[in-house]
């Protein structure tokens, strides 16, 4: 017998409404075996987002950014400057428009043909965000910018033009620890440039 969970919202409370919206909700959940449970669940809604991995099939390179991340610093991470694929919140833009803007802002890259891969929930236990994943080709002469990001938003991003094999090694040894980036690098290794695997 498959799962057939049914639920009813009994109460919601707003906990915070700053950059995103944090809510707590009391649910009455009926499980597939007929048991009825009351549960409190929190959700954090910051909107959906888009992420892209630019890749150079000729050189077998990828383009990533490295930037300071407060949540990592808050956890006392020894290096809170995380290496990531370019990404951003959609706000009111469609995913293709947003990812083109993010690639230009963060990586100095003008994309002509981003290719959609899939949508994934980033942390479905509490975060409502769905992330739209893209890839796009680039060439060596397009990867000359060294610092990206919007200074008026406090961003300073070191742009990294890396061999895919090196990026995969950085995942294995813990230097790349961002989930969306690992997903895209694994996709590149499996489907875009399998010959580049270390």
Whole-number Å distance between alpha carbons of 161 and 153: 24
* In the predicted structure, residue 109 carries a pLDDT above the cut 80: yes
* In the predicted structure, residue 150 carries a pLDDT above the cut 60: no
* In the predicted structure, residue 152 carries a pLDDT above the cut 70: no
pLDDT of residue 2: 64
Following DSSP, what letter does each residue of the chain receive, concatenated?
A: -----EEEEEEEEEEEESSSEEEEEEEEEE-TTS-EEEEEEEEEE---EEEEEEEETTTTEEEEEEEE-HHHHHTT-S--EEEE-EEEE-TTS-HHHHHHHHHHHHH----S--EEEEEEES-TTTB--EEEEEEEE--GGG----EES-GGGT--EEEEEEEHHHHHHHHHTTS---HHHHHHHHHIIIII-GGG--
pLDDT in tens, 45-88: 999 999 999 999 999 999 999 999 989 999 999 999 999 999 99
pLDDT in tens, 168-193: 999 999 999 999 999 999 999 999 98
pLDDT of residue 163: 96
Q: Of 51, 35, 45, which Cα lies nearest the Cα of 14?
A: 45
User: What are the backbone angles phi and psi of residue 2, rounded to the nearest 5°?
Assistant: -80, 170
Strand partners, 103: none
Mean pLDDT of the region 28-47: 93
pLDDT of residue 195: 84
pLDDT of residue 153: 63
pLDDT of residue 197: 75
Q: What is the pLDDT confidence band of residue 147, given thresholds at 50, 70 and 90? A: low
Q: Which tokens in the block code for residue 95?
A: 């995913």
Whole-number Å distance between alpha carbons of 129 and 82: 20
Higher pLDDT among residues 5 and 134, named by residue: 134
């Amino acid at each position: 017998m498959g799962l057939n969970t049914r639920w009813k919202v009994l109460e919601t409370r707003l906990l915070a409404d700053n950059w995103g919206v944090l809510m707590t909700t009391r649910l009455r959940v009926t499980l597939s075996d007929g048991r009825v449970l009351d549960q409190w669940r929190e959700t954090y809604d910051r909107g959906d987002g888009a992420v892209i991995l630019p890749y150079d099939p000729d050189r077998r390179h990828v383009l990533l950014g490295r930037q300071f991340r407060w949540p990592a610093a808050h956890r006392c991470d020894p290096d809170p400057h995380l290496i990531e694929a370019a990404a951003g919140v959609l706000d009111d833009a469609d995913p293709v428009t947003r990812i083109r803007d993010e690639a230009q802002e963060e990586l100095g890259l003008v994309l002509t043909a981003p290719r959609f891969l899939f949508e994934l929930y980033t942390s479905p236990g509490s975060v409502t965000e769905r992330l739209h994943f893209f890839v796009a080709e680039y060439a060596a002469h397009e990867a000359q910018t060294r610092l990206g990001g919007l200074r008026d938003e406090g961003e300073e991003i070191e742009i990294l033009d890396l061999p895919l094999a090196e990026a995969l090694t950085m995942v294995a040894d813990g230097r790349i620890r961002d989930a969306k980036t690992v997903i895209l690098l694994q996709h590149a290794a499996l489907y875009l440039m399998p010959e580049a695997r270390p």
